[in-house]
Chains A and B, each alone.
Chain A
Protein backbone atom coordinates (compact mmCIF):
# COMPACT_ATOMS: atom_id res chain seq x y z
CA UNK A 1 0.00 0.00 0.00
CA UNK A 2 2.80 2.41 0.94
CA UNK A 3 4.33 1.99 -2.52
CA UNK A 4 1.12 3.29 -4.08
CA UNK A 5 1.02 6.48 -2.01
CA UNK A 6 3.38 8.46 -4.31
CA UNK A 7 1.26 7.31 -7.25
CA UNK A 8 -1.91 8.64 -5.59
CA UNK A 9 -0.09 11.86 -4.73
CA UNK A 10 0.74 12.47 -8.38
CA UNK A 11 -2.82 11.67 -9.50
CA UNK A 12 -4.21 14.16 -6.97
CA UNK A 13 -1.67 16.71 -8.22
CA UNK A 14 -2.84 16.07 -11.80
CA UNK A 15 -6.47 16.71 -10.85
CA UNK A 16 -5.48 19.88 -8.99
CA UNK A 17 -3.37 21.03 -11.94
CA UNK A 18 -6.36 20.81 -14.26
CA UNK A 19 -9.22 21.78 -11.94
CA UNK A 20 -7.80 24.35 -9.53
CA UNK A 21 -4.39 25.70 -10.58
CA UNK A 22 -5.59 27.64 -13.69
CA UNK A 23 -8.01 29.56 -11.49
CA UNK A 24 -5.55 30.57 -8.80
CA UNK A 25 -3.16 32.16 -11.29
CA UNK A 26 -1.97 35.62 -10.28
CA UNK A 27 -1.14 37.90 -13.19
CA UNK A 28 -0.85 34.90 -15.49
CA UNK A 29 1.58 33.16 -13.13
CA UNK A 30 0.42 29.82 -11.85
CA UNK A 31 2.00 27.18 -9.63
CA UNK A 32 2.91 23.71 -10.87
CA UNK A 33 1.18 21.11 -8.71
CA UNK A 34 2.72 18.19 -10.62
CA UNK A 35 6.25 19.49 -10.12
CA UNK A 36 5.51 20.27 -6.49
CA UNK A 37 4.33 16.69 -5.92
CA UNK A 38 7.44 15.26 -7.59
CA UNK A 39 9.81 17.44 -5.56
CA UNK A 40 7.95 16.64 -2.34
CA UNK A 41 8.23 12.93 -3.07
CA UNK A 42 11.95 13.41 -3.79
CA UNK A 43 12.45 15.27 -0.51
CA UNK A 44 10.65 12.61 1.49
CA UNK A 45 11.58 9.40 -0.29
CA UNK A 46 14.99 10.14 -1.81
CA UNK A 47 16.52 10.39 -5.29
CA UNK A 48 15.21 7.12 -6.73
CA UNK A 49 11.59 7.85 -5.89
CA UNK A 50 12.23 11.47 -6.86
CA UNK A 51 13.33 10.66 -10.39
CA UNK A 52 10.54 8.13 -10.93
CA UNK A 53 7.95 10.59 -9.62
CA UNK A 54 9.54 13.36 -11.69
CA UNK A 55 9.35 11.26 -14.82
CA UNK A 56 5.69 10.36 -14.23
CA UNK A 57 4.70 13.91 -13.26
CA UNK A 58 6.62 15.34 -16.21
CA UNK A 59 4.99 12.94 -18.64
CA UNK A 60 1.54 13.95 -17.37
CA UNK A 61 2.60 17.60 -17.64
CA UNK A 62 3.54 16.95 -21.28
CA UNK A 63 0.23 15.21 -21.97
CA UNK A 64 -1.72 18.17 -20.56
CA UNK A 65 -0.24 20.64 -23.01
CA UNK A 66 0.11 20.97 -26.76
CA UNK A 67 3.92 21.03 -26.90
CA UNK A 68 5.99 17.94 -27.82
CA UNK A 69 5.73 15.00 -25.42
CA UNK A 70 8.92 14.14 -23.52
CA UNK A 71 10.62 17.40 -22.44
CA UNK A 72 8.64 17.57 -19.19
CA UNK A 73 9.48 13.95 -18.35
CA UNK A 74 13.14 14.59 -19.13
CA UNK A 75 13.50 17.75 -17.04
CA UNK A 76 11.25 16.81 -14.10
CA UNK A 77 13.04 13.44 -13.83
CA UNK A 78 16.42 15.17 -13.52
CA UNK A 79 15.06 17.73 -11.08
CA UNK A 80 13.45 14.98 -8.96
CA UNK A 81 16.74 13.12 -8.80
CA UNK A 82 18.73 16.23 -7.88
CA UNK A 83 16.18 17.34 -5.26
CA UNK A 84 16.24 13.87 -3.68
CA UNK A 85 20.04 13.81 -3.71
CA UNK A 86 20.30 17.24 -2.13
CA UNK A 87 17.92 16.31 0.64
CA UNK A 88 19.71 13.00 1.21
CA UNK A 89 23.07 14.70 1.56
CA UNK A 90 21.96 17.73 3.54
CA UNK A 91 22.25 17.65 7.29
CA UNK A 92 20.26 20.79 7.91
CA UNK A 93 16.72 20.46 9.20
CA UNK A 94 13.81 22.83 9.41
CA UNK A 95 11.19 24.41 7.20
CA UNK A 96 13.71 26.40 5.17
CA UNK A 97 15.25 23.39 3.43
CA UNK A 98 12.16 22.21 1.53
CA UNK A 99 11.26 25.81 0.79
CA UNK A 100 14.63 26.54 -0.81
CA UNK A 101 14.77 23.20 -2.61
CA UNK A 102 11.28 23.72 -4.05
CA UNK A 103 12.20 27.25 -5.18
CA UNK A 104 15.35 26.22 -7.03
CA UNK A 105 13.81 22.98 -8.30
CA UNK A 106 10.87 24.95 -9.73
CA UNK A 107 13.10 27.55 -11.30
CA UNK A 108 15.37 24.90 -12.81
CA UNK A 109 12.48 22.78 -14.04
CA UNK A 110 10.51 25.64 -15.63
CA UNK A 111 13.56 27.21 -17.30
CA UNK A 112 14.93 23.80 -18.31
CA UNK A 113 11.59 22.79 -19.81
CA UNK A 114 11.39 25.89 -22.00
CA UNK A 115 15.05 25.57 -23.00
CA UNK A 116 14.47 22.00 -24.17
CA UNK A 117 11.43 23.22 -26.13
CA UNK A 118 13.59 25.97 -27.65
CA UNK A 119 16.18 23.40 -28.69
CA UNK A 120 13.36 21.40 -30.29
CA UNK A 121 12.35 24.42 -32.36
CA UNK A 122 10.02 26.43 -30.17
CA UNK A 123 9.90 30.03 -31.38
CA UNK A 124 9.33 33.24 -29.44
CA UNK A 125 11.49 32.17 -26.48
CA UNK A 126 13.55 34.91 -24.85
CA UNK A 127 15.62 34.68 -21.68
CA UNK A 128 13.88 37.67 -20.13
CA UNK A 129 10.49 36.28 -21.08
CA UNK A 130 11.27 32.89 -19.55
CA UNK A 131 12.76 34.30 -16.34
CA UNK A 132 9.92 36.82 -16.09
CA UNK A 133 7.47 33.94 -15.74
CA UNK A 134 9.66 31.22 -14.18
CA UNK A 135 10.86 33.33 -11.22
CA UNK A 136 7.39 34.31 -9.95
CA UNK A 137 6.18 30.78 -10.62
CA UNK A 138 9.04 29.37 -8.52
CA UNK A 139 8.17 31.82 -5.76
CA UNK A 140 4.51 30.81 -5.98
CA UNK A 141 5.48 27.13 -5.77
CA UNK A 142 7.62 27.83 -2.69
CA UNK A 143 4.80 29.63 -0.94
CA UNK A 144 2.48 26.79 -1.80
CA UNK A 145 5.08 24.31 -0.51
CA UNK A 146 5.04 26.15 2.80
CA UNK A 147 1.33 25.38 3.05
CA UNK A 148 1.11 21.88 1.62
CA UNK A 149 4.53 20.29 2.19
CA UNK A 150 3.97 19.31 5.85
CA UNK A 151 0.68 17.61 4.99
CA UNK A 152 1.87 15.86 1.87
CA UNK A 153 5.08 14.75 3.58
CA UNK A 154 3.07 13.36 6.47
CA UNK A 155 0.88 11.48 3.99
CA UNK A 156 3.94 10.10 2.21
CA UNK A 157 5.68 9.06 5.43
CA UNK A 158 2.89 7.08 6.93
CA UNK A 159 5.28 4.40 8.17
CA UNK A 160 7.15 7.06 10.19
CA UNK A 161 4.59 9.38 11.76
CA UNK A 162 5.88 12.93 12.18
CA UNK A 163 4.34 15.57 14.31
CA UNK A 164 6.19 18.77 13.59
CA UNK A 165 7.23 20.66 10.51
CA UNK A 166 10.81 20.71 11.82
CA UNK A 167 11.00 16.95 12.02
CA UNK A 168 9.26 16.52 8.69
CA UNK A 169 11.94 18.52 6.94
Chain B
Protein backbone atom coordinates (compact mmCIF):
# COMPACT_ATOMS: atom_id res chain seq x y z
CA UNK B 1 0.00 0.00 0.00
CA UNK B 2 1.28 3.43 -0.91
CA UNK B 3 1.05 6.42 1.40
CA UNK B 4 -0.12 9.58 -0.29
CA UNK B 5 2.60 12.19 -0.69
CA UNK B 6 0.20 15.08 -1.07
CA UNK B 7 1.95 17.02 1.69
CA UNK B 8 5.17 16.91 -0.33
CA UNK B 9 3.57 18.29 -3.46
CA UNK B 10 2.32 21.59 -2.11
CA UNK B 11 4.55 23.58 -4.49
CA UNK B 12 3.55 21.55 -7.51
CA UNK B 13 0.56 23.78 -8.18
CA UNK B 14 2.83 26.76 -8.64
CA UNK B 15 5.16 24.87 -10.97
CA UNK B 16 2.17 23.64 -12.96
CA UNK B 17 0.79 27.16 -13.24
CA UNK B 18 4.20 28.44 -14.33
CA UNK B 19 4.52 25.77 -17.03
CA UNK B 20 1.02 26.48 -18.32
CA UNK B 21 1.81 30.20 -18.50
CA UNK B 22 5.02 29.37 -20.41
CA UNK B 23 3.00 27.24 -22.84
CA UNK B 24 0.56 30.12 -23.44
CA UNK B 25 3.48 32.48 -23.97
CA UNK B 26 4.96 30.05 -26.53
CA UNK B 27 1.65 29.93 -28.40
CA UNK B 28 1.45 33.74 -28.40
CA UNK B 29 5.04 34.12 -29.60
CA UNK B 30 4.45 31.56 -32.36
CA UNK B 31 1.54 33.53 -33.78
CA UNK B 32 3.21 36.91 -33.42
CA UNK B 33 6.65 36.10 -34.77
CA UNK B 34 7.49 35.74 -38.44
CA UNK B 35 8.93 32.77 -40.30
CA UNK B 36 12.41 33.77 -39.09
CA UNK B 37 11.39 34.03 -35.42
CA UNK B 38 13.02 31.90 -32.71
CA UNK B 39 10.30 29.24 -32.50
CA UNK B 40 10.09 28.76 -36.26
CA UNK B 41 13.90 28.64 -36.40
CA UNK B 42 14.00 26.11 -33.55
CA UNK B 43 11.47 23.93 -35.39
CA UNK B 44 13.52 24.03 -38.57
CA UNK B 45 16.63 23.13 -36.54
CA UNK B 46 14.94 20.19 -34.83
CA UNK B 47 13.59 18.95 -38.14
CA UNK B 48 16.98 19.29 -39.86
CA UNK B 49 18.56 17.24 -37.07
CA UNK B 50 15.82 14.61 -37.09
CA UNK B 51 15.50 14.20 -40.88
CA UNK B 52 18.41 11.70 -41.02
CA UNK B 53 16.88 9.86 -38.05
CA UNK B 54 13.61 9.51 -39.93
CA UNK B 55 15.50 8.39 -43.02
CA UNK B 56 17.32 5.75 -41.00
CA UNK B 57 14.01 4.58 -39.53
CA UNK B 58 12.57 4.32 -43.04
CA UNK B 59 15.41 1.99 -44.02
CA UNK B 60 15.39 -0.01 -40.78
CA UNK B 61 11.64 -0.64 -40.88
CA UNK B 62 11.62 -1.77 -44.52
CA UNK B 63 11.09 -5.46 -43.57
CA UNK B 64 8.19 -4.52 -41.28
CA UNK B 65 6.56 -2.50 -44.05
CA UNK B 66 7.03 -5.37 -46.48
CA UNK B 67 5.30 -7.75 -44.09
CA UNK B 68 2.55 -5.16 -43.57
CA UNK B 69 2.02 -4.85 -47.31
CA UNK B 70 1.95 -8.63 -47.59
CA UNK B 71 -0.72 -8.86 -44.88
CA UNK B 72 -2.68 -6.10 -46.58
CA UNK B 73 -2.62 -8.03 -49.84
CA UNK B 74 -4.20 -11.11 -48.26
CA UNK B 75 -7.64 -9.82 -49.18
CA UNK B 76 -7.10 -9.84 -52.98
CA UNK B 77 -9.40 -11.84 -55.23
CA UNK B 78 -8.53 -15.29 -56.61
CA UNK B 79 -7.88 -13.96 -60.12
CA UNK B 80 -5.64 -11.26 -58.67
CA UNK B 81 -3.88 -13.91 -56.64
CA UNK B 82 -3.28 -16.08 -59.71
CA UNK B 83 -1.95 -13.11 -61.63
CA UNK B 84 0.30 -12.21 -58.74
CA UNK B 85 1.59 -15.78 -58.48
CA UNK B 86 2.50 -15.77 -62.19
CA UNK B 87 4.11 -12.41 -61.78
CA UNK B 88 5.98 -13.67 -58.78
CA UNK B 89 7.38 -16.59 -60.78
CA UNK B 90 8.69 -14.15 -63.34
CA UNK B 91 10.13 -11.92 -60.67
CA UNK B 92 12.12 -14.76 -59.17
CA UNK B 93 14.08 -14.98 -62.39
CA UNK B 94 15.61 -11.63 -61.76
CA UNK B 95 18.10 -10.47 -59.26
CA UNK B 96 16.59 -8.42 -56.44
CA UNK B 97 18.90 -5.50 -56.90
CA UNK B 98 18.25 -5.23 -60.64
CA UNK B 99 14.56 -5.49 -60.07
CA UNK B 100 14.64 -2.66 -57.56
CA UNK B 101 16.57 -0.51 -60.01
CA UNK B 102 14.14 -1.30 -62.82
CA UNK B 103 11.10 -0.39 -60.74
CA UNK B 104 12.70 2.82 -59.60
CA UNK B 105 13.58 3.67 -63.18
CA UNK B 106 9.99 3.12 -64.25
CA UNK B 107 8.61 5.29 -61.52
CA UNK B 108 11.02 8.09 -62.35
CA UNK B 109 10.24 7.83 -66.08
CA UNK B 110 6.56 8.10 -65.28
CA UNK B 111 7.22 11.15 -63.15
CA UNK B 112 9.41 12.76 -65.81
CA UNK B 113 6.84 12.02 -68.50
CA UNK B 114 4.10 13.55 -66.38
CA UNK B 115 6.13 16.70 -65.82
CA UNK B 116 7.39 17.02 -69.40
CA UNK B 117 3.89 16.63 -70.82
CA UNK B 118 2.90 19.74 -68.90
CA UNK B 119 6.12 21.63 -69.60
CA UNK B 120 6.74 22.14 -65.89
CA UNK B 121 10.11 22.80 -64.32
CA UNK B 122 10.52 20.09 -61.75
CA UNK B 123 12.96 18.56 -59.31
CA UNK B 124 12.84 14.88 -58.39
CA UNK B 125 12.98 13.92 -54.71
CA UNK B 126 12.84 10.85 -52.53
CA UNK B 127 10.46 10.52 -49.59
CA UNK B 128 12.57 10.03 -46.45
CA UNK B 129 10.01 10.45 -43.69
CA UNK B 130 6.37 9.73 -42.95
CA UNK B 131 3.98 11.81 -40.79
CA UNK B 132 5.51 11.74 -37.28
CA UNK B 133 2.28 12.22 -35.32
CA UNK B 134 -1.35 11.21 -35.50
CA UNK B 135 -2.54 14.67 -36.46
CA UNK B 136 -0.04 15.54 -39.17
CA UNK B 137 -0.43 14.83 -42.87
CA UNK B 138 3.16 15.79 -43.62
CA UNK B 139 5.97 13.83 -45.26
CA UNK B 140 9.67 14.63 -45.51
CA UNK B 141 11.64 14.67 -48.78
CA UNK B 142 15.39 14.73 -49.37
CA UNK B 143 15.57 18.08 -51.21
CA UNK B 144 15.87 21.48 -49.59
CA UNK B 145 16.76 25.10 -50.16
CA UNK B 146 20.26 24.15 -51.38
CA UNK B 147 18.61 22.35 -54.29
CA UNK B 148 16.20 25.19 -55.04
CA UNK B 149 13.18 24.10 -53.01
CA UNK B 150 11.16 26.85 -51.32
CA UNK B 151 8.07 27.02 -49.13
CA UNK B 152 4.87 27.01 -51.16
CA UNK B 153 6.05 24.91 -54.10
CA UNK B 154 3.58 22.22 -55.29
CA UNK B 155 4.61 18.57 -55.06
CA UNK B 156 3.39 15.84 -57.41
CA UNK B 157 3.42 12.09 -57.76
CA UNK B 158 3.00 10.40 -61.12
CA UNK B 159 -0.76 10.13 -60.56
CA UNK B 160 -1.27 13.77 -59.66
CA UNK B 161 -1.00 16.42 -56.98
CA UNK B 162 0.01 15.32 -53.49
CA UNK B 163 0.70 18.55 -51.62
CA UNK B 164 2.81 21.62 -51.03
CA UNK B 165 6.14 22.44 -49.38
CA UNK B 166 5.55 23.92 -45.90
CA UNK B 167 9.05 23.78 -44.38
CA UNK B 168 12.32 23.89 -46.27
CA UNK B 169 15.65 23.06 -44.64
CA UNK B 170 19.02 23.02 -46.39
CA UNK B 171 18.77 19.42 -47.59
CA UNK B 172 15.29 18.28 -46.61
CA UNK B 173 11.80 19.68 -46.81
CA UNK B 174 8.37 18.89 -45.46
CA UNK B 175 5.37 18.44 -47.71
CA UNK B 176 1.85 18.98 -46.44
CA UNK B 177 -0.37 16.40 -48.13
CA UNK B 178 -3.64 17.55 -49.67
CA UNK B 179 -5.50 15.31 -47.20
CA UNK B 180 -4.13 17.23 -44.18
CA UNK B 181 -6.78 19.29 -42.40
CA UNK B 182 -4.72 22.46 -42.95
CA UNK B 183 -4.57 21.99 -46.71
CA UNK B 184 -6.75 23.81 -49.20
CA UNK B 185 -6.36 23.70 -52.99
CA UNK B 186 -8.21 25.85 -55.51
CA UNK B 187 -9.91 23.31 -57.75
CA UNK B 188 -12.46 22.83 -60.49
CA UNK B 189 -14.56 20.05 -61.96
CA UNK B 190 -13.23 19.08 -65.36
CA UNK B 191 -16.64 18.46 -66.91
CA UNK B 192 -18.50 21.59 -65.81
CA UNK B 193 -15.52 23.89 -65.02
CA UNK B 194 -17.24 24.75 -61.71
CA UNK B 195 -14.73 26.02 -59.19
CA UNK B 196 -14.33 25.26 -55.51
CA UNK B 197 -11.73 24.44 -52.89
CA UNK B 198 -10.49 20.92 -52.14
CA UNK B 199 -9.97 20.71 -48.39
CA UNK B 200 -8.38 17.99 -46.31
CA UNK B 201 -9.80 16.83 -43.00
CA UNK B 202 -8.71 15.36 -39.72
CA UNK B 203 -9.92 11.94 -40.92
CA UNK B 204 -7.71 12.25 -44.01
CA UNK B 205 -10.67 12.59 -46.40
CA UNK B 206 -10.89 15.14 -49.22
CA UNK B 207 -13.93 17.35 -49.80
CA UNK B 208 -14.67 19.78 -52.61
CA UNK B 209 -16.30 22.80 -50.99
CA UNK B 210 -17.99 25.98 -52.21
CA UNK B 211 -19.22 24.52 -55.49
CA UNK B 212 -22.46 26.08 -56.66
CA UNK B 213 -25.68 24.11 -56.01
CA UNK B 214 -26.68 24.69 -59.63
CA UNK B 215 -23.72 22.62 -60.86
CA UNK B 216 -24.50 19.19 -62.27
CA UNK B 217 -22.53 16.73 -60.18
CA UNK B 218 -21.80 13.12 -61.03
CA UNK B 219 -19.80 10.53 -59.16
CA UNK B 220 -16.59 10.00 -61.11
CA UNK B 221 -16.22 13.63 -62.21
CA UNK B 222 -12.53 14.51 -62.48
CA UNK B 223 -11.24 17.23 -60.13
CA UNK B 224 -8.31 19.40 -61.29
CA UNK B 225 -6.44 22.37 -59.89
CA UNK B 226 -8.04 25.59 -61.16
CA UNK B 227 -4.93 27.74 -61.01
CA UNK B 228 -6.79 30.37 -58.98
CA UNK B 229 -4.53 32.02 -56.42
CA UNK B 230 -1.46 31.30 -58.50
CA UNK B 231 -0.01 28.62 -56.22
CA UNK B 232 -0.78 25.48 -58.21
CA UNK B 233 -0.55 25.42 -62.01
CA UNK B 234 -3.90 24.92 -63.70
CA UNK B 235 -4.92 21.43 -64.75
CA UNK B 236 -3.08 19.19 -62.27
CA UNK B 237 -5.06 16.09 -61.45
CA UNK B 238 -6.30 15.97 -57.84
CA UNK B 239 -8.79 13.11 -57.92
CA UNK B 240 -12.37 12.24 -58.76
CA UNK B 241 -15.72 12.77 -57.11
CA UNK B 242 -16.61 9.74 -54.99
CA UNK B 243 -19.81 10.90 -53.30
CA UNK B 244 -22.27 13.78 -53.60
CA UNK B 245 -24.91 14.87 -51.09
CA UNK B 246 -27.19 17.84 -51.63
CA UNK B 247 -29.17 18.79 -48.52
CA UNK B 248 -31.84 21.49 -48.49
CA UNK B 249 -30.30 23.11 -45.43
CA UNK B 250 -26.80 23.39 -46.89
CA UNK B 251 -25.55 26.36 -48.91
CA UNK B 252 -23.26 24.12 -50.94
CA UNK B 253 -23.34 20.44 -51.92
CA UNK B 254 -21.19 18.05 -49.91
CA UNK B 255 -18.73 16.52 -52.35
CA UNK B 256 -16.27 13.81 -51.37
CA UNK B 257 -13.16 13.46 -53.53
CA UNK B 258 -10.99 10.37 -53.89
CA UNK B 259 -7.37 11.44 -54.46
CA UNK B 260 -5.82 10.07 -57.64
CA UNK B 261 -2.36 9.69 -56.11
CA UNK B 262 -1.80 7.05 -53.44
CA UNK B 263 -0.70 9.22 -50.54
CA UNK B 264 0.46 6.31 -48.40
CA UNK B 265 3.70 4.57 -49.25
CA UNK B 266 5.03 7.28 -51.57
CA UNK B 267 8.67 6.78 -52.52
CA UNK B 268 9.49 9.35 -55.22
CA UNK B 269 7.89 12.71 -55.92
CA UNK B 270 8.65 15.81 -57.97
CA UNK B 271 8.69 19.39 -56.71
CA UNK B 272 7.51 22.02 -59.20
CA UNK B 273 10.38 24.45 -58.66
CA UNK B 274 9.19 26.61 -61.55
CA UNK B 275 5.82 27.27 -59.94
CA UNK B 276 5.11 30.63 -58.31
CA UNK B 277 6.01 30.53 -54.63
CA UNK B 278 3.57 31.34 -51.86
CA UNK B 279 5.54 32.12 -48.72
CA UNK B 280 2.53 31.40 -46.48
CA UNK B 281 2.29 28.08 -44.68
CA UNK B 282 -1.34 27.35 -45.40
CA UNK B 283 -2.36 25.55 -48.52
CA UNK B 284 -2.63 27.73 -51.50
CA UNK B 285 -5.50 28.65 -53.60
CA UNK B 286 -7.93 29.61 -50.90
Contacts and interface: CB of A to CB of B under 8 A. Distances in A.
Interface in A73-106: 73-74, 77-78, 81, 85, 88-91
Interface residues of A, number: 61
A148 interface: no
B24 A74 contact: yes
B12 A63 contact: no
Interface in B8-37: 9, 12, 15-16, 19-20, 22-27, 30-31
Nearest to B4: A89
A46 B5 contact: yes
Contacts of A137: 134
B27 A66 contact: no
Interface string B263-286: 010000000000000000100000
Contacts of B15: 48, 51-52
A29 interface: yes
Contacts, number: 168
B60 A19 contact: yes
B16 A81 contact: yes
Interface in B144-191: 166-167, 174, 176, 181-182
Contacts of B23: 55, 58, 70-71, 73-74, 77
A47 B23 CA distance: 18
A73 B106 CA distance: 45
Contacts of A14: 50
B65 interface: yes
Interface stretch (B92-100, B198-206, B222-230, B242-250): B198-206
Given A22-B131, A64-B46, A125 B5 contact: no
A64 B50 contact: yes
A63 B61 contact: no
Given A63-B42, A66-B138, A70-B24, A23 B61 contact: yes
A48 B42 CA distance: 26
Contacts of B43: 63, 69
B27 A28 contact: no
A15 interface: yes
Interface of B: 1-2, 4-6, 9, 12, 15-16, 19-20, 22-27, 30-31, 39, 42-43, 46-47, 50, 53-54, 56-58, 60-61, 64-65, 129-136, 138, 166-167, 174, 176, 181-182, 199-204, 264, 281
25 contacts: A15-B53, A18-B54, A19-B56, A19-B61, A20-B57, A22-B57, A22-B130, A30-B134, A46-B9, A48-B9, A48-B12, A48-B15, A61-B133, A63-B46, A66-B281, A67-B135, A67-B136, A70-B30, A73-B19, A77-B16, A77-B19, A91-B2, A117-B135, A123-B199, A125-B202
The 6 A-B pairs of least Cβ separation, nearest first, read: A19-B57, A70-B27, A22-B130, A124-B181, A74-B23, A70-B26
